[in-house]
Amino acid sequence: MKLRIGSRGSALALWQARHVAGRLEAIGHDVEIRTITTTGDRVLESRLEVVGGKGAFLKEIEEALLGGQVDLGVHSLKDVPTALPGGLQLCAVLERADPRDAFLSATGTTLTALPAGACVGTTSLRRRCQLKALRPDLRVADLRGNVDTRIRRLREGSYDAIVLAMAGLMRLGRESEVTHALEAEVLLPAPGQGAICLECRLDATAVGAAVAPLHHGPTAAAVEAERAFLAALGGGCNVPLGAHASFLPSGSLRLMALIGDPEGATVLRGEARGADPIALGRSVAADLASRGAAGLLGR
């Protein structure tokens, strides 16, 4: 089958698109990658919540899907809103890579050993909240751009340290630049972090069947719990929110989640275990809502 993939043009996005293309070609499909520039790629000086949230990285790809110019969108799942445009669906979730955040410092200093007043670069409110809660003495400054740009600015001395997703660094072969990985108990990842997902039209049954061998059930169940939590709270990139689900030896899921304010003065954490991903996500969201999450969401 001939499949046309729509992808952003960044090095990481193209790595992901080529990875998916290679796997599809290995099972007999003919694949073409079409590069699409999104709003998030064009507007680099504004915060994401100003230019349309994380969906700003998907808008033009989704328009190409709906218009029939491409058959598949390849996305980092953490960038995908829980509500998709009408006529589209997530048709596969690939096995997740390392979901943790990575800490990179200019001198190899760890997060706990950074001197007071050190500047850490990130545009993520989730990371900012947790960093400030851990180390109120740090300065957290905005940092946008692709992986190369962010690491270059660190090396140039604009920041003492930066925080990036471990999965992206591994995919680009840059994990050797990581000072240390931040465990989920220290810095909770974004819902879906480390997972690649595929998006197609609802009526594209042949496309769905073609990509079905790439779907990884355990990853899909874990991220479903994380995204159920996100959907239940109605959060997005305008509020610090993290969630990570993992399988226990018993086969049930453990979901850790949090919501806070950007300065880390208030951080609400919740945890639960269960077999039903959607019920689990909703139960943790309900717990945090009962303890004041609505106020943090501005409701």
Positions of E strands within 138-286: 139-141, 161-165, 180-182, 196-201, 241-247, 253-260, 267-274
Tens of pLDDT, residues 146-170: 899 999 999 999 999 999 999 999 9
CA angle (190 as vertex; 209, 66 as ends), nearest 5: 40
| pLDDT higher than threshold 60 for residue 52 | no
Q: Report, as an integer, the average pLDDT of 22-46.
A: 85
Domains of the chain listed by start with CATH number: 2-94+195-215 (3.40.190.10), 101-182 (3.40.190.10), 225-292 (3.30.160.40)
Provide the sign of the torsion angle of the four alpha carbons 21, 245, 134, 44, taken in this order. positive
Query: 47 and 17 in contact (C-beta within 8 Å)?
Result: no
Containing H/E element for 266? none
Burial of 115 (0-12, 13-18, 19+ CB in 10 A): exposed
- Tell me the pLDDT of the chain averaged across its residues: 93
Q: How confident is residue 234, by pLDDT bands cut at 50, 70 and 90? A: confident
Active site residue 148: no
Q: Exactly one of 41, 71, 79, 287 is catalytic; which is it?
A: 79
In this prediction, residue 57 carries a pLDDT of 82
For the ranges 54-58, 142-146, 177-181, 279-283, the lowest mean pLDDT is seen at: 54-58
